[in-house]
Structure formats: structure tokens, C-alpha cells
Chains A and B, each alone.
Chain A
Amino acid sequence: MNPAPSATNQNPERRTPNGEPLLRVERLTTVFDTRRGAVAAVDDVSFDVRAGETLGLVGESGSGKSVTALSIMRLVQPPGRIAGGRLLFQGRDLLTLDDRQMQSIRGAEISLIFQEPMTALNPVFRIGDQIGETLVVHRRATRREARGKAIELLRSVRIPNPESRVMDYPHQLSGGMQQRVMIALALACQPSLVIADEPTTALDVTIQAEILDLLREMKAALGLALLLITHDLGVVAETADRVAVMYAGRIVETGPVRDIFRGPAHPYTRGLLASIPGGRPGERLRAIEGTVPMLGDLPPGCAFTPRCPDRFDRCPTAPPPDYPIGPEQAAKCYLHDPQSPRRQFPTNQPSAISSQRYGSR
């Protein structure tokens, strides 16, 4: 790839001191105040993002993955609020910063890429000015420097004719090009962490592949860490180093991507992998029964209990803690409690994942 312009003054292998993760989310709880009391959209969530890695945060709509992203940026709007926990970014707790300090981190140290570039970009400003604004605000660049930097950034995300495109308004670009602009915007101040919330969901599959390639390349060139939020297990398999699986506001399983796909330990993770179309054409899919529970009306104990093929009497008693599965893998499931009477997996293994390569012979 073209060397990204912002890589020049940057050590590509950014490390935080003494092996600490870049971001440590500790017992984060974000609630929404409703007439029926506070409902936890994010419930006691802990995970690390290490410098330079891609963590895939997987979940369905309503699982709390987007609220987690907004919480890290401290952009949760009322009636939502962060009710507890710590967000240690490079050793500093973001929740203790005042608004000005947080402002200087947002967009500069941590930036966010949204699902719908058309709604995230301001329709009445030229894209060059929108990128430039970030630089003027965070880097005290002059307007003229900002314009030159914007062109450089557009070139680095491979937008053709950046010198003229910089004058375009968002609606003049296709969805894929808009998402490239969003990426350029997110990278403008050389953040060490980029949060991408379903960055390719609104795009066609060929454009999705290009955007994922671009994210991977930019990540490698700039040494940044990526928190990739998605519901698509294919995207996770292709992009992430480690995976955290969310269900009903809680993280139910974490581990290296290979371990999660080869040996999923939580029944929800196994169910998701097993329901991917594959196997013999026309065969019934292995669906997870039931529906995603409503927040505020969660079943007691493990929220997956009513849908779980492996449930037993202990499941509804209390939310399970993390049980280690391997050196880096953990699952919140009583099946993995060494003291549990039912330790082995009684049910199906995930279906044979089709690993054939399409489109070539």
C-alpha cells in the first residue's frame, strides 16, 4: 500500500508502558432510566484492547455492543448514563476526566467510525472541511495546512483524485467512498484506538471486502488498535485477533479468534456458529430457538438460559462468572465450573464450517 502519511512520525509498534493493555474496560455498567427504573444495556462488562490488536466485539442488535462503544467515547445521551465501572485508557480512567480533557481524547486519541457514513458526515460541509476541522481543533493546524493534510488523508484511503474530491459534499460520493472518508476522518489525528461500529453493514459485499482490507492495512501501517463491532462472524474471522461475544448486555465469551471458532465454549457462541448456512444445500439450519430477550425483562441468572440447549437447574440462579477455558479463553457458563455436576458438553458440535474458497478452483 501507499505509505500512509501519518505513519511517518509514528512508531508503528506502539506499546503502552509495562505491558498494560491500551484500553481496559472494567466492570462497565451503562443504564437507561425508564419509567420502570434503570435498565442495564451494558451490564458489568470487562475486556481489554491491547495495543495494535483487533478485538472483534460480536453481538446481535440490542446486545449492548454499540452502547459499549458510546460509553468508551463518553457519548451516551440521556436517558442513558454510565452507572459504574472504569475505562482505563493508557492508564488513565476516562470516567474521571472533565469534559475538556475528554474532548481532547475524543477524535484525537480514540476515534469512532459509524455504520452509516451518510448520517455521520455533515451533509452541508465539504468533506475536506470536515476532515480539516478535526485537525484545526485537535492539532491547531491552520486552514491551509488542514486542506493539504485532508488531501493526503483522502489519498491514503485510496480515494481517486483527492485534490478535487476534497471539495465534494458527502452526497456526491458513493456509500463505499463515504466510508473511506469516515476512515480518513477517524485517522486524521493518528489515534491509538479506533472503534468501528458495524463499519460495513450498510455496504455491498464487494465494497465491504475493500473497506475491511483498507482497515487492516491502515491498522498495520499506523500500529493502531481496532475495536471492531459487528454481528457478522465472517467479518470477525477475517479481521479480528481476539473476540468478545456479547449477549443481552453481558460478555459471555472471550478468546483468541481461532479458539473461539474452533472450540466455542459458551452455548450461545456455539449456537451462532452452528446456525451459519453451510453443510449440505437444502438441509435445515441449526437455529437457536426463541428470541432475543428484551432489556429490562431479562430472565434471571444467565440471560441465555431459556434458549440454551444445555441449560440445567443452576443456570437461572445467578449470572455465571467467567470460567477459564484455555490460557486466553473464558466463558460465562456453569458448564465450565469445575465443581459443576455437568461438566461435559452434551449437545452438538458446531456444524462443519464451510472453509472452501469461493470463486476459484
Chain B
Amino acid sequence: MALVEISHLVKRFTRDAGWFRAGVTVAAVDDISFAIDEGETFGLVGESGSGKTTTGRCMLRLVEPTAGEVRFRGDNVLAFTRSRMRQARRDMQIVFQDPYSSLNPRMRARQIVEEPLIIHRIGRRAERRARVAELFDLVGLNPAHLERYPHEFSGGQRQRIGLARALALNPSFLILDEPVSALDVSVQAQVVNLLMDLQQRLRLTYLFIAHDLRLVEHICNRVAVMYLGKIVEVGPTASLFAAPQHPYTKALLSAIPIPDPDAPRQRIVLDAALIDRGAALKEIAAGHWAAI
């Protein structure tokens, strides 16, 4: 059964008319639907501005969607009251891209990880301390560094702090918004391995928002490709990478630089005229849908 189900999600941003300009409405997310199964890693890829980050934020109601439904374990999250939503957030957490700007520089690492427990009034002080130490251990941080400030950690360690904080409330669903793209190349693989380990140990479900397609191919079970606010193709990773159907997916996959000087290369340049913006998703292979 699907853990998370998105249907007909729409988010429009409106810029009001000013003295010298007309008002504009942009559909950042334009009627998208997908479901994420329990325990799977679902990839969301697309160029910057395609709406993938907005989609993730709408699911946690960090931005309010304009229309549509987000069902989590069958319940429509968008109909929740404030207090019910607060409860739901214990189960759905997000890890942001930039560990340099997403951690409060004035808080110690321990406080950053402990804060969600305080907000949700979980445990006594001593219990919370014990939980924080356990989380530090879980994400591979040295518990001797609990009292340090964010600037005393490297990028990879900071992302581990962000991850420990996200895991503090024992969520079942994590939105990972470009979790390794701000990290040094030699450190990315460590954090990716940690994410894969944690998923197994804690039986987590991931929405993995990324632009590194090699990484998406490696860790995602299924992938959705967004283009200008719409999902233009979705399917099992192997099927989608082997036989992309939508012109944008074809162009995107052919543009991945291959780390092999002798690899044959055939660049497919995106021809916008080939894209039928009104096309509905059609199933072209088992579970593999494309808007062509």
C-alpha cells in the first residue's frame, strides 16, 4: 500500500500587480499525482525551477498547496488542523540541501538535535539527552562533539546533524532535498551510504529530490521526471533509464557526463517543439508512464 499519495497537486505563486508591472501567476506545481510505497526510495528529478522542491514542501505544508490532495497513510494531510498537522510532522520530516544555512549557528549541535523533542514535549531532560546521544551515534557523529557549534563541523558532519534532527522523532517518511549536492565529492558517498543504511535499519521511506542522475539511478526504486511543473515521465528506475520515452527525459539522460573518456556519447538536444504540454501520462511498460 502507498504510504504517501499525491493527487492533482497544484501550487500557484502569484505576484501582485504593482505600479509599474502587471500581476503574474505561475503554476510551480501544475496538477501532479504520484504515490510512494512504504520502504521505497522515490526519486524526483528535473531542472531548477521545475517544481520539485515546491512539491516536497507542499507535502509537509511548509508551503500551502493551491489545490489537490496529499494523503499520508490514507489521511488527507491538507485537511488537518494545526495541531493534527503538528502531530503528523512527527512522522514526516525533511532534510535540506545546504547544511551551512539550515542549521542555526547560535545553537550547539546537541540543542539542534534536541529541539524537536522539546517542541513535541517528548521525554524528560535526561531521557532527551540520552536520545540525542543515541542519534549522534546512529548518524556516525562523535558524541564527544555534542556541545560544539555548527561552524566547528565539516559539511558532511553538518549534514549528519541535520539528519539526526530529522530522525529525532522516529519518522517513517523523509523528504531528502538534494541532501549531498552541497558536500565535497569525497564525502558525498559516505552520506549516501549512511542514508541507505538508515533506510534499512529504520525501515524509512524516502522522497529523494536530486539533480545528480547517476546517484538517482543508484539509490532510487522509482523516479519521476518533472518539467515545467508537470510530471512528464515516471517509472521504475531501470526501465526509465534504459528506455526513456519523453523528449525531456531523453535529453536529460543523454546530458549526464559519463566518467569514462572512451564511452560513446550521443547528445540528444531538447527540441521544445516535440513536447506536447497537454499530453496525459500513458502507461508504456509495466508501471512506466510518459506524457507523450
Contacts and interface: CB of A to CB of B under 8 A. Distances in A.
Contacts of B263: 237, 355-357
Contact of B190 (A205, A206, A213, A289): A289
Given A210-B269, A357-B266, A358-B254, 20 more contacts: A205-B255, A213-B267, A231-B185, A233-B185, A235-B257, A236-B259, A275-B185, A277-B189, A277-B192, A277-B215, A278-B214, A281-B217, A282-B196, A288-B190, A291-B154, A354-B258, A357-B263, A357-B264, A359-B250, A361-B243
Contacts of A237: 257-261, 263
Contact of A282 (B184, B218, B250, B258): B218
Contact of B251 (A60, A206, A307): A206
A258 B193 CA distance: 29
A277 B218 contact: yes
15 contacts: A205-B256, A206-B270, A209-B267, A238-B258, A277-B189, A277-B212, A281-B219, A287-B192, A291-B156, A292-B187, A355-B263, A357-B258, A358-B254, A359-B249, A359-B251
A289 B257 CA distance: 25
Contacts of A287: 186-187, 189-190, 192-193
A279 B154 CA distance: 28
Interface of A: 60-62, 204-210, 212-213, 231-238, 257-258, 261, 268, 271-273, 275-279, 281-289, 291-292, 307, 353-361
Contacts of A208: 255, 257
B47 interface: yes
Interface stretch (B21-29, B65-73, B129-137, B234-242): B234-242
Interface of B: 47-48, 154, 156-157, 184-190, 192-193, 196, 211-215, 217-219, 237-238, 241-244, 249-270
Contact of B268 (A258, A282, A283, A360): A360
Contacts of A275: 185-186, 188-189
Nearest to B248: A206
A287 B211 CA distance: 20
A281 B244 CA distance: 18
Contacts of A273: 259
B241 A257 contact: no
Contacts of A212: 257
A261 B186 contact: no
Contacts of A277: 189, 192, 212, 214-215, 217-219
Contacts of A210: 269
A340 to B, nearest CB: 25
B185 A353 contact: no
A281 B238 CA distance: 9
Nearest to A205: B255
Interface centre among B213, B258, B264, B270 (most CB of A within 10 A): B258
Contacts of A261: 259-261
In the A-B complex, list the 10 residue pairs whose CB atoms are closest, starting with the nearest. Answer: A234-B257, A287-B189, A359-B253, A277-B218, A209-B255, A359-B254, A275-B189, A285-B189, A204-B47, A358-B253
A205 B154 contact: no
Contacts of A283: 218
Given A233-B259, A275-B188, A288-B189, A281 B237 contact: yes
B265 A286 contact: no
A355 B262 CA distance: 8
Given A61-B184, A271-B186, A285 B257 contact: no
Contacts of B184: 60-62, 231, 291-292
Nearest to A288: B186
Nearest to A241: B261
A276 B188 CA distance: 9
B189 A286 contact: yes
A275 B218 CA distance: 12
